[in-house]
Amino acid sequence: MRKEVLILGGIVVLVIVGGIIGSQYYSNSTAPAPAPTKPAATNQSEKPTGGLPPLATSEYLIREDSPSIGPKDAKVTIVEFVDPECESCALYHPVIKKVLNANKGNVRFVVRYMPLHPNSLSAATFLEAAGEQGKYWEAQDYLFQKQPEWGTKHGRAATDQPDVNVLFKKYAKDLGLDESKMNEAFSQNKYASKIARDKRDGEAIGVRQTPTIFVNGTKLNRLDETALKFLVAEGLKN
């Protein structure tokens, strides 16, 4: 009898020890991963030395010569990396205008170029040349409106593509622009380095498609009106 009691007691001890070990193993295997540590604050006057530059480094989002509308000290700044030949950019353009009109005086809008289509460089050149004559935003609206006419036609032979040189000359007349200044901008590739710089800046912060939009440095992950309004409202609250 005593022997049986000892055996039974030993079994109980083993069960208890096994339960403790098992519970510890389960706890460890389901424990949440430790929260990532925040990176050290970056001095904005310093350029990143490697990897993806922080979005807080404003020069990657805004340059002094970037086309912009709205007060520079606005609480909210919207930056769009845009390709004038991009159909999605043309479709989203009215949304941006609507949000800007609803928040006049409180929001600044900045344009950066991300040329990804055959006629993008020519279109950006047209916009810059129009901007020098004080009609940047009218020209932007007009190019998006006329995009089906001058944009590259997918699936068509090169000989069947629109002649943007002819069309852009017509658009310059429609907008009342100085044609000689426009021709000079194209013949000298006047803005090629600026447009190429914008593309490098975009690529440095992970821009791979258009439109890519940032609101106070936060990337807009969904292209709809509600998402843009939300980020703008959050920025105005802070």
Task: Write out the DSSP string of 200-232.
Answer: HHHHHTT--SSSEEEETTEE--S-SHHHHHHHH
Residue 181 lies in a domain: yes
CATH number assigned to the domain comprising residue 92: 3.40.30.10
* Structure tokens that stand for 106 in this block: 């409180």
pLDDT at 57: 54
Residue 212 lies in a domain: yes
Alpha-carbon distance of 166 to 198, in angstroms, equals 26
Q: How many domains does the chain have?
A: 1
pLDDT at 43: 37
Paired sense of beta strands 76-82 and 68-69, if any:
unpaired
Diameter of the chain measured on Cα atoms = 114
CB 82 within 8 A of CB 211: yes
Indicate the pTM of the whole model: 0.76
Burial class (CB within 10 angstroms; exposed 0-12, middle 13-18, buried 19+) of 127: buried
pLDDT at 19: 47
Residue 27 lies in a domain: no
pLDDT at 225: 96
Residue 53 lies in a domain: no
Residue 44 lies in a domain: no
Average pLDDT per consecutive 10 residues, the chain (238 residues; last block may be shorter): 47 45 36 30 36 60 96 96 98 98 97 97 98 98 97 79 94 97 96 98 94 95 95 94
* Structure tokens that stand for 109 in this block: 């809008």
Full residue range of the structural domain in which residue 190 is found:
58-152+161-237
Residue 99 lies in a domain: yes
